Amino acid sequence: MELADRDPEVAEAARCAYRHLEDEYAGCIEQAQTAGEVDATLDARALATYFVAVTRSMEVLGTAGADRSVLLGVGRAAFTLLT
């Protein structure tokens, strides 16, 4: 991913990977909305994009040595948007 700004093939691969993650997250969110587990008025696609951003950021934090408790806190905070 770090090479995406210099290599068009890497950039396209990154876009495809992010799109796939967004599609997976959006599908899960939509299922949860249908089941009444997530607020149906929320934009599933926007939330999916948000969760891709959060999880990628958590990867960076983890690589930089963030404590497990910090990462769990970020994850818990992100999930509060769903209710």
Where do the H-state alpha helices sit in 1-80? 8-34, 44-63, 68-79
CB atoms near residue 29 (< 10 Å): 22
Query: pTM here?
Result: 0.81
- Phi/psi for 25 (5° steps) reads -60, -45
Structure tokens at 46: 């926007």
What mean pLDDT do residues 7-15 have? 82
Name the pLDDT band for 13 (thresholds 50, 70, 90): confident
Out of 7-11, 29-33, 47-51, least confident range: 7-11
